[in-house]
A and B are shown apart, each in its own frame.
Chain A
Amino acid sequence: MKKLLTGNEAIARGAYEAGCLVAAAYPGTPSTEILENISQYDEIYSEWSTNEKVALEVAAGASIAGARALVSMKHVGLNVAADPLFTIAYEGVNGGLVIVTADEPGMHSSQNEQDNRLFAPHAKVAMVEPSDSQECKDFIKHAFEISETYDTPVIFRVTTRVCHSKGVVELGEREEVGIREYVKDPKKYIMVPANSKVKHIEMETERIPRLREYSNNSPLNRIEWNDRKIGIITSGACYLHAKEVFGDTVSYLKIGFSWPLPDKLIKEFAQGVDKLYVIEENEPYMEQFIKAMGIECIGKEIFSACGEINPQIIREKILGEKVESPYKLDIEVASRPPALCAGCPHRGIFYALSRHKNKVVVTSDIGCYTLGAMPPLGMGDTVICMGAGITAGIGFDKVNKMADRNKKVFGFVGDSTFFHSGITGLVDAVYNQSNMVVVILDNRITAMTGHQENPGTGKNIKGIEAPQIDIEAIVKAIGVKEENIRVIDPYKMEENISAVKDALAATEPFVIITKQPCALIKEVQRRRAGLYCQVNQDKCKKCKTCLRIGCPAISMKDNVVSIDTAQCNGCQVCLQVCPFDAIEFFGEEVM
């Protein structure tokens, strides 16, 4: 049967067909849908883990216990999971272990565009790279087999264009491979120095040479001989882009098994062509390997290390064909950045804090609330990575004091981010007596990645009831004093304003927890569908205060302020900030 699947859906299908039994992940674009799709198969135990390190460790444990296990994450997630990665590489596997990393050349929804292929030689872990949805499904099966045959975890590297592109996939049946016997083996699974030393030597002298041999003979690496004037070595989505430009007029070495790279195959291919190009996004990963072999090739001399590659770039760089748009319009295009939604529960606290903008520094984090940094709210000084909303704040606060800046640091994290890597930061803040304020925006969902459950939502990945972890109880248990904790409803401006005021005056670690579910949660949308605000034009003085909360439902056209009632969910933040009581609330909540 043929089906149109995204790369992510195909990876999930591949895991199912390959007899995978355990799958874990933390959501992150462009990887999120892999686990969402796997969770629909009852044959596979799946979970949203608290972070990527946890996810990889869950999968590693399952592998050692004898099951085929898969873990998926976005590229930066592998940084979090790097600790277990480098050591499980020594230990190897029992049931196959596949680690999917979804990289983001072009950074459509990420904070950097690191090239995770470099993790493979660094951690000495085999790597597989599919180009399209069919390969995503087929290569997952190969990856599990490679993992078990060579006793190694396998990195499965995809990119946004592979994850989020749909292509035709021929489906197969699930093959039950069962659970392998677990035999206690401390030399293999207890990595103390004496054992690790042996394992490292084993990797270098046995596993890696065997993998290199496999690479040279793998069906995943193949030469397509055509005209030999130009030869192209490429992998992943770049293979598709190159095929679109050159079709069957040039020769290709398509790399699908990319660590260790196939040295003999590369040599054979290079000798067979007049001019050799390497087409790869971001780092010169293959190019450096090829050049180190003493083979001449053209790569990053013409292709940028920044952003995605596409057929047009290849045409321009190799064929010298530059395309210009046939249309020149005489219109200046306004930008359209993402924004906090109408009714977003994050807006109220950001607005309350923005009233003190000269007295505060805001260390923000990864999530929808990153958008609080956008104008007109402008509430953000730093964004680094998951958890840094708290921890960067600790360091910033210490230096503020040294420099007598008299500025209060407010660190923002969401509920899911708090569980991911915020808790350790808060422990640090309390232990090291930071004077910062931590704001935990609890909107009962992992929102930015498209609404995944998390330990605070009371449901698991399958939507089944699960224990609900109490954020406030954790904050108290860490040692934040009761008098320094405010739990507020961020739709109520009085509560926002008073919490911010108390926080500004605090001399000890202070925590504000805002509780209001994301406006886009289906149940919330249903409940609030009939609620809206409207501007009473007789009372409106056009003072524009309501425009400063940055709500996409409020506009001022032709000197008339109005609210788009279709977008509005009646959160009433605008109503409360209006100095002239010109905004009125209508409708009733549906229970």
Chain B
Amino acid sequence: MAKSLLLVGVGGQGIILVSKILSEGLLEEGYDVKMSEIHGMAQRGGSVTTQIKFGDKVYSPTINIGEADVLVSFEKLEAVRYISQLKKGGTLIVNEEEMWPLPVLAGLEKYPEGIMEELKAKVENVISINARTIAEELGEPRSQNIVMLGLIVKALGLENIDWVSKIKKFLPERVHEVNIKAFERGLNS
């Protein structure tokens, strides 16, 4: 039976990069892997999703309502938007990051309050993290996504795969060190 992982967030957060690293590692581990991404206009601050499925044999790349074994949200409002995709008893990993969409910034809509409380009350398995604080401590706010990668690897029990080499493969050399630290912080959080 294939496992499914849905990653959601905001354009520019580095979700597609994390998905690429994950897929590459899973392939090396011998799984059949399918990864599907929706981008394009989403690049401009819109909502972004990628879907990863792995197992002995994967056919469809899509994940539908109530199907994701793990839902990873890089921003907390996006966790609410996509919660319907999570399987009953599935795991929600959420970054407590709060990014206001333009209609909220323009005062046309409200950014909802109490998201984390509601998620923790209604979803059985919630793992939350403040990836921004960790990334800022490391001096590289943009490494939030790799902190999340560490957390995903831990939640899926995939620590035995050589992730550091994948991080090195997909990122420029000058940010290797900080991102490997970010990965370890996520892994040990």
Residue positions of A touching B, CB distance < 8 A: 2, 4, 29-30, 108-109, 132, 160-161, 164-168, 237, 240-241, 243-244, 308, 310-312, 323-341, 368, 371, 374-376, 448-450, 544, 547-548, 550-552, 554-556, 566
Contacts and interface: CB of A to CB of B under 8 A. Distances in A.
Interface in B23-54: 23-24, 27, 32-47
B80 A337 contact: no
Nearest to B2: A244
B69 to A, nearest CB: 13
Contacts of A328: 122
Given A161-B62, A310-B64, A329 B41 contact: no
B123 A310 contact: no
B23 A547 contact: no
Given A165-B35, A165-B37, A448-B41, 11 more contacts: A132-B34, A160-B38, A164-B39, A243-B59, A244-B60, A310-B60, A312-B65, A334-B101, A339-B44, A544-B107, A550-B106
A376 B34 contact: no
Given A165-B36, A323-B64, A333-B77, A371 B44 contact: yes
A4 B61 contact: no
A331 B115 contact: yes
B104 to A, nearest CB: 5
B111 A325 contact: no
B78 interface: yes
B110 interface: yes
Interface stretch (B83-91, B155-163, B181-189): B83-91
Contact of A339 (B38, B45, B119): B45
B102 interface: yes
28 contacts: A2-B27, A109-B39, A109-B40, A165-B34, A168-B32, A240-B61, A241-B59, A308-B62, A310-B62, A310-B64, A325-B65, A325-B84, A325-B86, A326-B88, A327-B83, A329-B80, A329-B119, A331-B114, A331-B115, A333-B77, A333-B81, A333-B112, A334-B110, A336-B46, A371-B44, A450-B43, A548-B106, A552-B102
Contacts of B45: 336, 338-339, 341, 552
Which 4 pairs from chain A and chain B are nearest by CB?
A: A109-B40, A325-B84, A338-B46, A312-B64
Contacts of B109: 334-335
A547 B106 contact: yes
Nearest to A334: B109
A209 to B, nearest CB: 35
A566 B13 CA distance: 12
Interface residues of B, number: 59
Contacts of B102: 336-337, 339, 374-375, 550, 552
Given A160-B38, A448-B41, A337 B62 contact: no
A436 to B, nearest CB: 27
Given A334-B104, A554-B105, A164 B42 contact: no
A329 B122 contact: yes
Given A164-B39, A547-B105, A331 B80 contact: yes
Given A165-B35, A338-B46, A339-B45, A324 B62 contact: no
A333 B109 CA distance: 9
Contacts of A332: 110, 112
A330 B118 CA distance: 7
B80 A338 contact: no
B38 A108 contact: yes
A449 B60 CA distance: 26
A167 B10 contact: no
Given A244-B59, A341-B44, A336 B77 contact: yes
A221 to B, nearest CB: 19
Contacts of B38: 108, 160, 164
Given A166-B34, A326-B66, A334 B119 contact: no
B103 interface: yes
Contacts of B81: 333, 336
A113 B35 CA distance: 23
A327 B115 CA distance: 14
Given A310-B62, A556-B107, A334 B41 contact: no
A350 B75 CA distance: 30
A30 B78 contact: no
B14 interface: no
A368 B107 CA distance: 22
A555 B103 CA distance: 11
A339 B41 CA distance: 9
B84 A327 contact: yes
A496 B114 CA distance: 42
A566 B77 CA distance: 20
B41 A375 contact: no
A161 B46 contact: no
